[in-house]
Structure 1
Amino acid sequence: MELNMAADELKAALNRLRRAQGQLAGVIKMIEDGRDCEEVITQLAAVSRALDRAGFSIIATGLQHCLTEEPQEAEDRDRLRARLEKLFLSLA
């Protein structure tokens, strides 16, 4: 399955990933600086949520794409459904 996303959808997902990347760099620095454990965990949770949102955005776009170009064969639909379900559950 290709990652076919419109430019605006792709930009939004990339922005979320870049924000998460910046947050993760901040968490690493906090750990290196010996910051409070609670602060580190709070920021790490924010990174995790940002990654989840980016992943869900990409999966939602994939689902939308699949619904508009649904395979005709039942076996292909079942395979596609299983693949999308596996992707979705990998973020849970």
Structure 2
Amino acid sequence: MAALNNDKSRTDILNRLKRAEGQLRGIQRMIEEGESCLPIATQMAAVRKALDSTYVRMTMCFMEQQLQDKLGTPTEGSPEMDDMFGEIEKLLGKIR
């Protein structure tokens, strides 16, 4: 399996995960402080959405890297490839 070797994508995914981690800590604090269930559930839904979008981004990175390895040509920077990957990412985002 391919490792994430694109620095920009790696940074983006790590930042998304750190943001979700902060949200989870906030939820823990809400529970500890006795917050009511509805705001906690709302925050949990937000974390799930953040993790889902991070998963889609990671999947796109994997696809880009695999295509680049198999085709032997860069997949980044080409307007056609960027458009195609953007459309695929939108489609993947709709199935969650």
TM-score clears 0.5: yes
**Which range moved further: 12-21 or 59-68?**
59-68
> 1:5–1:61: 8 Å Cα contact kept in structure 2?
no
Q: What is the CA–CA distance in structure 2 between the aligned matches of 1:2 and 1:64, rounded to whole Å?
A: 11
Dislocated runs of 4+, deviation >6 Å: none
- TM-score where L is the length of structure 1: 0.72
Amino acid at match of 1:8: K
Consecutive unaligned residues of structure 2, counting only runs of 5 or more, are: 72-91
After superposition, the CA RMSD in angstroms is 2.0
Deviation at 1:65, TM superposition (A): 1.1
Q: Which of structures 1 and 2 has the larger relative contact order (alpha carbons within 8 angstroms, sep 6+)?
A: 1
Question: How many residue pairs end up in the alignment?
Answer: 74
Amino acid at match of 1:23: Q
**1:22 counterpart residue number:** 22
Q: What is the CA–CA distance in structure 2 between the aligned matches of 1:45 and 1:5, rounded to whole Å?
A: 30
Deviation at 1:5, TM superposition (A): 3.0
- TM-score where L is the length of structure 2: 0.69
State yes or no: 1:63 paired with 2:63: yes
Q: What is the CA–CA distance in structure 1 between the aligned matches of 2:65 and 2:7, rounded to whole Å?
A: 14
State yes or no: 1:8 paired with 2:8: yes
**1:50 counterpart residue number:** 50
- Counterpart of 1:69 in 2: which secondary structure? helix
Consecutive unaligned residues of structure 1, counting only runs of 5 or more, are: 72-87
